Amino acid sequence: MSRWSGAAPAFFATLFTVTAAAAQVGRRPGIVDPNLATAEQLQKLPHLTPALAKEIRDGRPFLSMSELNQLLSKSLSADQRKELYGTMFIHVNLNTAPKDEILLIPGVGEKMLHEFEEYRPYRGLAQFRREIGKYVDAKELARLEGYVFVPIDLNTATDEEILSIPGIGSKMLHEFKEYRPYKSIEQFRREMGKYVPDKEVGRLERYVTVK
């Protein structure tokens, strides 16, 4: 294996049932993951010079959006970063992300931050859609979902849930499942460390939990 692999309308439930019912990591076309993007993809994004794109590639994987924002704040203004984050973002954990990280999501202010935090802990994205759908319409809900995730349970997650993790393909899906049942997150680190570097294990670990 390679080492690098306003109130919502009532139809929300059916809108998401097929496309995202099992996914625990939000997806939105047009937003790239800086931990996985190619040099060409990065250089097409607003305000990313070749040199800055290289800094991102050299520093990755970033284990949080806050970490990446700290790097970019040295070269880009707040307005430039805001524009950039409409096209590039690292998903934030709905249950643990600090306030300043959630506020990096384009269009999220103090009021929406409060709503995000009010419903913690989230059991899954279906709950996020139900609760946040009370405040925004379907289009905005889908946009916000593209920036967030809820960790999956390593022992019970479906194939679809595992495959929603950015960068996971069929081979790594097999490795995730091979070591079930996991007794601890330490076991996950140990087993996945056979296939990918420690920093990549850390990136993957963000998306999982052992209950």
Q: In this predicted model, what pLDDT tens digit does every residue of 44-101 receive, in sequence order? A: 999 999 999 999 999 999 999 999 999 999 999 999 999 999 999 999 999 999 999 9
What's the CATH number where 133 sits?
A: 1.10.150
> Does residue 3 lie in a domain region?
no
Q: How does residue 157 score in pLDDT terms, banded at 50, 70 and 90?
A: very high
Q: pLDDT value at position 9?
A: 36
> Does residue 62 lie in a domain region?
yes
Chain Cα centroid distance, residue 160? 15
Q: Let me know whether 95 and 136 are in one domain.
A: yes
Q: Let me know whether 108 and 131 are in one domain.
A: yes
| Contact call for residues 146 and 31 (beta carbons, < 8 A) | yes
- Alpha-carbon gap, residue 201 to 188, rounded angstroms: 9
Q: pLDDT value at position 51?
A: 96
Q: pLDDT value at position 22?
A: 62
> pLDDT at residue 7 above 50?
no
Q: pLDDT value at position 23?
A: 82
Return mean pLDDT, the chain: 91
Show which of 67, 84, 101 is a domain's final residue.
84
> pLDDT at residue 189 above 90?
yes
pLDDT mean over 124-152:
97
Q: How does residue 10 score in pLDDT terms, banded at 50, 70 and 90?
A: very low
> Does residue 33 lie in a domain region?
no
Q: Let me know whether 18 and 115 are in one domain.
A: yes
Q: Let me know whether 78 and 95 are in one domain.
A: no
Q: pLDDT value at position 29?
A: 86
> Does residue 108 lie in a domain region?
yes
Show which of 149, 171, 189 is a domain's final residue.
149
pLDDT mean over 149-169:
97
Q: pLDDT value at position 96?
A: 97
Show which of 149, 176, 199 is a domain's final residue.
149
Q: Let me know whether 21 and 116 are in one domain.
A: yes
> Does residue 125 lie in a domain region?
yes
Which structural domain, as residue segments, surrounds residue 180?
A: 152-209
Which is more confident, 144 or 20?
144
> Does residue 4 lie in a domain region?
no
> pLDDT at residue 115 above 90?
yes
Q: Let me know whether 109 and 199 are in one domain.
A: no
Residue type, position 176, single letter: F
> Does residue 1 lie in a domain region?
no
pLDDT mean over 172-180:
98
Q: Let me know whether 99 and 145 are in one domain.
A: yes
How many structural domains does the chain have?
3
Q: Let me know whether 20 and 104 are in one domain.
A: yes
Q: Let me know whether 100 and 22 are in one domain.
A: yes
Q: Let me know whether 133 and 164 are in one domain.
A: no
> Does residue 158 lie in a domain region?
yes
- Alpha-carbon gap, residue 131 to 58, rounded angstroms: 38
pLDDT mean over 132-159:
97
Chain Cα centroid distance, residue 142? 14
pLDDT mean over 121-133:
97
Q: What angle do CA 125, 208, 70 make, to 5 degrees?
A: 85
Q: Let me know whether 178 and 79 are in one domain.
A: no
Q: What is the pTM of this model?
A: 0.87
Q: What is the 3-state secondary structure (H, E, C) of the chain?
A: CCCCCCCCCCCHHHHHHHHHCCCCECCCCCCECCCCCCHHHHHCCCCCCHHHHHHHHHHCCCCCHHHHHHHHCCCCCHHHHHHHCCCECCCEECCCCCHHHHCCCCCCCHHHHHHHHHCCCCCCHHHHHHHHCCCCCHHHHHHHHCCEECCEECCCCCHHHHHCCCCCCHHHHHHHHHCCCCCCHHHHHHHHCCCCCHHHHHHHHCCEECC
Which has the minimum average pLDDT: 1-15, 28-42, 50-64, 109-123?
A: 1-15
